[in-house]
Amino acid sequence: MLPMTETFVHKGQAVAWGRMGDGPPLVLVHGFPWSAQAWRRVAPALAGRHTVYWFDMIGCGRSDKHDGQDVSPAVQSDLLAALVRHWGLGRPHVVGHDFGGLAALRGHFIEGLRYGRLTLIDAVAVLPSGSPFFAHVRCNEAAFAGLPPYAHEALFRAYTGQAAARPLSEDATRIYAQPWRGTIGQAAFYRQIAQSDTRAIAEAQLRYGPLDCPVALLWGEEDTFIPVAQGEQLADMIGVDRPTRVAGAGHMILEDAPEAVVAALLLGEG
């Protein structure tokens, strides 16, 4: 498990974070419904060359969760910008998976962050986005938040199980499920889904263009959540090479092929 020993208070909300290693800064940004622990098999391998930072997005993992909380993608990119300033990083290498990719893109195009390098992994980035499940939750958030715990657990396992090309281990499922259990965690899970509307993507997409740093895209070839065709569309929008496809990996490439992620990040630096 990655240590989450530090706390950053962002606009009154506690955000858990950690770091390890020594060298040029590298910031890891997780997606949903994951947490910073999604990087637990990647971060240690990067720490030999980098000071590696990770954090739990607002409303996720060990960060604050409460009723009435704004956990929209716009809030998460604002958090990323605030953390980069708090850490005193100039132009870090930022790596974003899933909604973490959207946070990184918004961080640059909306929040004005400058990166030394950007790597996007199976990123939420272009329209159309979302699924019938997400749309149904948006219309019935309270009903889902009030599900019996066993039903919520079954739904969570079914949803996350589809993200990987091979079955998630019981240990991985436990790690990802724990923050979403209990009255507070369960409500937080459906709050994230209900607020993941497409406006934040549309706002960023209007501004896409070439960045002033190297950009790499990495995609699970078997991603059924965000097909590689959307990665190719994103590549065209920001003027970079088409995504590197990872065979045998689905959307949760961090579980299916963490070694491929490490290799891509380290070899890509030359």
Query: Is residue 186 situated within a structural domain?
Result: no
pLDDT class for 267, splitting at 50, 70, 90?
confident
The pLDDT tens digits for 206-248 are 999 999 999 999 999 999 999 999 999 999 999 999 999 999 9
CATH of the domain at 29: 3.40.50.1820
* SS3 state at 189: helix
Query: Is residue 185 situated within a structural domain?
Result: no
Q: Which of 136, 132, 27 is nearest to 77 (CA)?
A: 27
Q: What mean pLDDT is reported for the chain?
A: 97
Query: Is residue 133 situated within a structural domain?
Result: no
The percent of residues in the chain predicted with pLDDT above 90, rounded, is 97
Residue 270 has what pLDDT? 65
Rounded average pLDDT over 91-107: 98
Helices (H), the chain: 43-46, 73-87, 99-109, 132-139, 141-145, 149-161, 170-177, 182-194, 199-205, 228-238, 253-256, 258-267
Rounded average pLDDT over 8-28: 98
Query: Is residue 154 situated within a structural domain?
Result: no
| Cβ-Cβ contacts under 8 Å for 23 (sequence gap 6 or more) | 48, 49, 50, 51
Residue 131 has what pLDDT? 87
In whole angstroms, give the CA distance from residue 120 to residue 124: 9
Query: Is residue 53 situated within a structural domain?
Result: yes
Residue type, 147: L
Query: Is residue 35 situated within a structural domain?
Result: yes
* SS3 state at 151: helix
pLDDT class for 44, splitting at 50, 70, 90?
very high
Question: In the structure encoding, which two tokens stand for residue 31, read together?
Answer: 């997606």
Residue 269 has what pLDDT? 79
The percent of residues in the chain predicted with pLDDT above 70, rounded, is 100
Query: Is residue 181 situated within a structural domain?
Result: no
- Report whether pLDDT(144) > 80: yes
pLDDT class for 169, splitting at 50, 70, 90?
very high
Rounded average pLDDT over 153-163: 96
pLDDT class for 112, splitting at 50, 70, 90?
very high
With a threshold of 0.95, does the pTM exceed it? yes
Cα distances from 92 to residues 21, 113, 140, 197, 262, in angstroms, run 14, 10, 40, 28, 17
pLDDT class for 268, splitting at 50, 70, 90?
confident
Q: What does the longest C-alpha to C-alpha distance in the chain come to?
A: 51
Query: Is residue 182 situated within a structural domain?
Result: no
Domain span at 53: 6-126+198-267
Residue 148 has what pLDDT? 98
Q: Which of 53, 47, 71 is nearest to 16 (CA)?
A: 53
Rounded average pLDDT over 248-266: 97
- When divided into structural domains, the chain yields a total of 1
